[in-house]
Amino acid sequence: MTQETNNLLEVRDLRIAFRVDKHTIFEAVKGISFDVPRNATVALVGESGSGKSVSSLAVMGLLPRENTLVDAGSSIRFDGRDVLHLDTAARRALCGRDIAMIFQEPMSSLNPVFTVGFQIGEVLRRHMGMNRRQARVRTLALLDEVGIPDPATKIDAYPGQMSGGQQQRVMIAMAIACEPKLLIADEPTTALDVTIQQQIVELIAKLQRQRGMAVLFITHDLGLVSEIADEVVVMRHGEIREQGSAQQVIGAPRDDYTRALLHCRPPLDARPLRLPVIADFMEGGTRADGMADAVPQRTRGYAADDEIILDVRNLKKSFWVREGLFGKREFQAVQDVSFRLPRGKTLGVVGESGSGKTTVGLTLLRLHQASGGSALFEGRDLLAMSPREYHAYKRRIQIVFQNPYASLNPRFTVGQILLEPMRLHRIGANDTERVALALQWLARVGLPAAALHRYPHEFSGGQRQRIAIARCLTLRPEILVCDESVSALDVSVQAQVLNLLQDLQDEFGLSYLFISHDLAVVKYISDHVMVMRHGAVVESADADELYRNPQHPYTRTLLAAIPGTR
């Protein structure tokens, strides 16, 4: 069989542009070509804005028609058919049955008002012609195949009653329901814990082998690619920078950008003073091959004479959950958590979703009311203070949230976002002084003065996270709670933000409570690591020692699930 007939999907000279307004056209994809062979997995890799998701949406026919321009010379052939020239009905039938897609965020892809059984069954009824009884039997088999526990009960559950990993499994069940020839997985593991991520990647690989599907796996994490892909296509700014076998692209990359993506990720076996960023590898930058060996390493760990700025003892937090029509039960989200945070040091808090790590941070900030315990800040219990007493401490403990898109007011300019907390806490004699301070902090986090007059939507995700950090810094805090503050960022932007956090700690002696499910990031930035599970601390140790010699089975499970180590 020739290579031409062996390809299930063939993309040739694909050019896609979006009409922004009457006078502006943005070219998102600039003449790319690649193939997806039958029974193979191809990874499409790149940062946000590289054009990888736009390319996959073009295959599915999901780009908005009113402002999308596809070049007449572009071609997308699936199983010999040019899908760009199919009518709406034929395209819908093809993409419903022969091509399926798993989206990044299952909670926004699943309808919250319908049970998962109904939503999977709808696909079977529409594309396979099944009646309701047949669809229910098949749905139960699909839920069991993708590893949903107790399918007979879960089939009647709503998406909101399931964990993130279970929701993504439901999306996979829906995608494979019609036994498609091609499965497109668009960042299916980005928002998931490392252990759930491992399960989803293994599930997709198993289904691909068992069903003989082709898979187009879209991601920004090259660590995952080595575990699932046969071929890799690396994209940047709408163009293909490199493509080839996974072994070649990851083991011996030829393009500077591919090398950059591989090196920006925090290494587990080293701790350089600064993480390399994309500019270090690209034109005009310093080549960073072997950079971890070439630069000085940072020493981590607590010292016996460290000044303790925060001493948390037996922290508890419970929530009351409705049960039945009139009943309720107590759910213990945090159970007797104790730790000490020295000045100028970083305590990493790791665990899966539901482990209680975020609740610890929010309770310390009194965004949740503690059910018990104490948090001593310079000898005073933050949790026992009256609201009036606590007001003076608010500015000294700040939080950087996970999602910079949701944590910044879209109706405020950056200037208003930065000035509002300074006015509330009376920092600066007047607005002239406050504007000067705001400009200083913008410069400190690497943003231009012109950003002061722009709105959040005009910035990238990494830039928005820098704005969120600048907002915290205007109050001159002594402790920053970083709640998954880099987990949603591309690896290159993540490296920039981690470098910024480290620079600020070096300069101002900030203490960080760094909450994350990404163990590679936690090891890089932390002096000490606390592992949580089901609301309790299962292990706490020096960062290097914990990764070198984990004591608890759960910690060993988390470490074994890090991409690139399995």
The CATH number assigned to the domain holding 68 equals 3.40.50.300
- The position carrying tokens 């964990």 is 163
Identify residue 34 by its one-letter amino acid code.
Answer: F
Inter-residue contact 314 to 372 (CB < 8 Å):
yes
Inter-residue contact 268 to 523 (CB < 8 Å):
yes
| Helical spans, DSSP H, in 398-542 | 404-407, 414-424, 431-444, 461-473, 491-508, 519-525
| Pair (74, 11) in one structural domain | yes
- Rounded Cα distance between 408 and 459, Å, is 11
Host domain of residue 439: 404-476
Q: What's the structural domain count of the chain?
A: 4
| Pair (445, 408) in one structural domain | yes
State pTM to two decimals. Answer: 0.83
| Pair (453, 530) in one structural domain | no
- Rounded Cα distance between 84 and 41, Å, is 23
How confident is the model at residue 565, as a pLDDT?
A: 59
SS3 content of the chain, % helix, strand, coil (to 5): 40, 25, 35
- Rounded Cα distance between 307 and 304, Å, is 9
- The position carrying tokens 């003065």 is 449
Inter-residue contact 529 to 522 (CB < 8 Å):
yes
- Among the candidates 216, 234, 254, a domain finishes at 254
| Residue numbers of the chain with a pLDDT score lower than 50 | 1-3, 288, 290-293
Give ∠ CA 163-165-168 in degrees, rounded to 5.
110
How confident is the model at residue 352, as a pLDDT?
A: 84
- The position carrying tokens 């499965």 is 183
| Pair (87, 188) in one structural domain | yes
How confident is the model at residue 540, as a pLDDT?
A: 96
CA 197 from chain center: how many Å?
A: 11
| Pair (184, 327) in one structural domain | no
- Beta carbons within 8 Å of 517's beta carbon, 6+ residues apart: 193, 194, 350, 351, 352, 353, 484, 487
| Pair (196, 78) in one structural domain | yes
| H/E segment holding residue 276 | none
**Residue 158 to residues 107, 170, 501, 565, Cα–Cα distance (Å):** 11, 11, 39, 35
Q: Is residue 437 part of a domain?
A: yes
Q: Is residue 220 part of a domain?
A: yes
Q: Is residue 266 part of a domain?
A: no
Q: Is residue 281 part of a domain?
A: no
- Rounded Cα distance between 359 and 368, Å, is 8
Inter-residue contact 228 to 203 (CB < 8 Å):
no
| Pair (384, 533) in one structural domain | yes
Helix pair 88-97, 116-128: axis angle to 10 deg: 120
| Pair (89, 11) in one structural domain | yes
| Pair (42, 64) in one structural domain | yes
Inter-residue contact 237 to 50 (CB < 8 Å):
yes
Q: Is residue 352 part of a domain?
A: yes
For 21, other C-beta atoms within 10 Å of its C-beta total 7
Q: Can you read off the two tokens belonging to residue 252? A: 């011996």
| Pair (93, 182) in one structural domain | yes
| Pair (409, 466) in one structural domain | yes
Q: Is residue 205 part of a domain?
A: yes
What SS3 state is found at 141?
helix
**Residue 447 to residues 30, 279, 451, 454, 485, Cα–Cα distance (Å):** 29, 16, 7, 12, 18
Comparing C-alpha atoms, which of 158, 108, 164, 116 is closest to residue 140?
116
- Among the candidates 153, 177, 201, a domain finishes at 177
Q: What is the DSSP string of 286-310?
A: PP-TTHHHHSPBPP----TTPPEEE
- Rounded Cα distance between 554 and 560, Å, is 10
| Pair (349, 411) in one structural domain | no
Pairing of strands 7-19, 75-78: antiparallel
- Rounded Cα distance between 71 and 32, Å, is 12
How confident is the model at residue 39, as a pLDDT?
A: 93
Q: Is residue 308 part of a domain?
A: no
- Among the candidates 228, 254, 280, a domain finishes at 254
**Residue 311 to residues 234, 314, 342, 343, Cα–Cα distance (Å):** 47, 10, 9, 11
How confident is the model at residue 2, as a pLDDT?
A: 40
- Per-residue model confidence as pLDDT tens digits over 413-449: 999 999 999 999 999 999 999 999 999 999 888 889 9
**Residue 180 to residues 137, 208, 294, Cα–Cα distance (Å):** 19, 10, 48
Q: Is residue 547 part of a domain?
A: yes
- The position carrying tokens 């950003």 is 451
How confident is the model at residue 3, as a pLDDT?
A: 44
